[in-house]
Amino acid sequence: MNSDTNKRIKPTKQEETTLIEGERLSFEITKSCPYTGARAGMLTTPHGVVPTPAFIPVGSQATVKSLTPREFSDLGTKIVLGNAYHLYLRPGIAVIEKLGGLHRFMSWPGPLLTDSGGYQVFSLAHLRQVSDEGVHFHSHIDGSEHLLTPERSIEFQEALGADIIMAFDECPPYSEDIDAVKEAVARTHRWAERCLSSKKRTDQALYGIVQGGAFTELRHYSASFLTALGFDGYGIGGLSIGEPKEVTKAIVEETVALLPEDRPRYLMGVGSPDDLIAGVSQGIDIFDSALPTRIARTGGFFTRYGRRIIRNAHFRDRDGPLDEGCDCDTCRNFSAAYLHHLFRCEELLAYRLATIHNLRFVLRLMEEMRRSILDGSFPSFKESFLSSYEPTDEAMRLSQRQKGRKWRATKFSERS
């Protein structure tokens, strides 16, 4: 970081111990579980070390919604995700670059990962056209026309200055047939080569993204092609977008076996507690998802026994914390009845307190899994957690995702 950044951020003593000025990017496996694929490692970046397995809170627009960087750092966050698509549209890449890069802009001294924007433009099917050149799309904000190419995606991410950047890829919907997915995979591979060719900075790690939908043969082909290119790490994309959980688990199992053991494995868009445990069991090192913060804003709270909806009437007069044994500020200081009251009144504090709890729950779960891998107790930890955790009903989960996609499509259409 430059001197201006240091003046702006003023990290705490604890943060100062994790800043590694000029350190090279590296990844090292510390210990593996002999009975599962779980592994604990250390991901070193120029802005700090990330113990793995790790969960990355989503800060698409340079903010983890409702929290300050100091607050989500105190919750245990080691690395944050920003999104090149959203930041390109607002406030603009040039603005952030002029103000010292994304770290300084959002006052976050730790590691950053930026998504290429590929998933966002492909989720706006009615607003974009895809060609080998790139994606022509209309902004969901004001309807203006834009072109995003692999070269521009890398250019934007280099200007933002994240420690880890992602290749531009095509993410086909789960409903697509094998011919359409095959075409998307081939385009993803061509774009991956162009991303590697256009990368200039040596202080950023570039991860490729394995695609292939729910088709095993295409996942094998994509993993083989991308690993031959020699990326710094590998994302597994195109999952958790509407397919059944068993399909997700099967595809992850197949894909992980094809990825290099000495490179980070990143399962994109997965954030429910039971899915995190499944992914760690399969050898995933990094996860990201907006789920913990998104459900927090609707009154959903993670607990050891499954998701709880604080708006439900039986919380109206419940004394004591929502989640017994939780060490977050929300559970240590406020009763379930108070949280119920805040959500019923739609007070802004409700969303902050719920976000604090859900992020701490997920980050603590990652800490506990890492600790159990290191001390050799991961299989028993996994069994104990899952024996009491009740996953969200599968039919309801898929229905909620479909409603969410329809709502976003309607919202973007109204704006464009």
The residue among 13 and 247 whose pLDDT is bigger is 247
Over the stretch 241-260, which tens digit does the pLDDT of each residue have?
999 999 999 999 999 999 99
pLDDT of 32 > 70? The answer is: yes
DSSP run (H or E) holding 72: helix 69-74
Maximum Cα–Cα distance across the chain? 61
CA-angle at 398, arms to 396 and 402, nearest 5°: 115
The rounded Cα 225 to chain-centroid distance in angstroms is 24
pLDDT in tens, 201-226: 999 999 999 999 999 999 999 999 99
Using 50, 70 and 90 to split pLDDT, how confident is the model at 413?
very low
Angle (CA) 231-232-237 rounded to 5° is 70
Q: What is the pLDDT of residue 4?
A: 36
**Cα→Cα distances 76→174, 196, 307, 359, 360, Å:** 33, 32, 21, 9, 7
pLDDT for the residue 406:
56
- For residue 241, CA distances in Å to 123, 175, 185, 248, 391 come to 10, 10, 17, 9, 17
Q: Does the structure show a pLDDT above 90 at 312?
A: yes
Phi, psi at 46, each rounded to 5°: -60, -20
The enclosing H or E element of 40 equals: strand 39-45
Residue 393 has pLDDT above 90, yes or no: no
Q: What pLDDT score does 402 carry?
A: 60
Q: Pairing mode, if any, of strands 265-268 and 286-289? A: parallel
pTM of the shown model: 0.91
> Residue holding tokens 């969410």?
404
Contacting residues for 243 by C-beta, under 8 A, at least 6 apart: 174, 214
**Mean pLDDT of the region 161-189:** 96
pLDDT-based confidence at 400, cuts 50/70/90?
low
pLDDT (0 to 100) of residue 23: 53
Q: What is the pLDDT of residues 314-359, one digit of tens each?
A: 999 999 999 999 999 999 999 999 999 999 999 999 999 999 999 9
- The pLDDT value given to residue 140: 86
Per DSSP, the three-state class of 370 is helix
How would residue 387 be classed by pLDDT, with cut points 50, 70 and 90? very high
In single-letter form, the type of residue at position 289 comes to S
Flag the least confident range among 22-36, 51-65, 174-188.
22-36
pLDDT band at 17 (very low <50, low <70, confident <90, very high): very low
The reported pLDDT for the residue numbered 262 is 97
Residue 254, classified by CB atoms within 10 Å of its CB into exposed (0-12), middle (13-18) or buried (19+), is middle
Q: How confident is the model at residue 126 (pLDDT cuts 50, 70, 90)?
A: confident
Whether 177 sits among the annotated catalytic residues: the reply is no
Which of the following is catalytic: 169, 275, 285, 288?
288
Contacts of residues 6-13 at CB distance under 8 Å and 24 or more positions apart, as own/partner, are 8/100, 8/104, 8/107, 9/103, 9/104, 9/107, 9/108, 9/109, 11/109
The pLDDT assigned to 1 comes to: 36
- Residue 70 above 60 pLDDT? yes
Supply 355's token pair. Answer: 């976000």
pLDDT at 123: 78
What average pLDDT does the chain have? 91
CA distance linking residue 340 with residue 15, whole number of Å: 35
What pLDDT shows up at residue 396? 64
Is residue 288 flagged as an active site residue?
yes
Q: Is the pLDDT of residue 388 over 80?
A: yes
**DSSP letter assigned to residue 173:** -
Angle at 101 between CA 137 and CA 209, to 5 degrees: 50
Half-sphere exposure of 234 (CA within 13 A, CB side): 26
Domain residue extents for the chain: 3-289, 300-388
DSSP helix/strand/coil, 338: helix
Q: Catalytic residue, from 115, 169, 285, 323: name it.
A: 115
Please state, as a whole number, how many other Cβ atoms lie within 10 Å of the Cβ of residue 64. 25
Q: Mean pLDDT across the stretch 43-70?
A: 98
Using one digit for the tens of pLDDT, what is the confidence trace for 96-123? 999 999 999 999 999 999 999 888 877 7
What topology is assigned to 3-289 in CATH?
TIM Barrel (3.20.20)
Give pLDDT, residue 9: 34
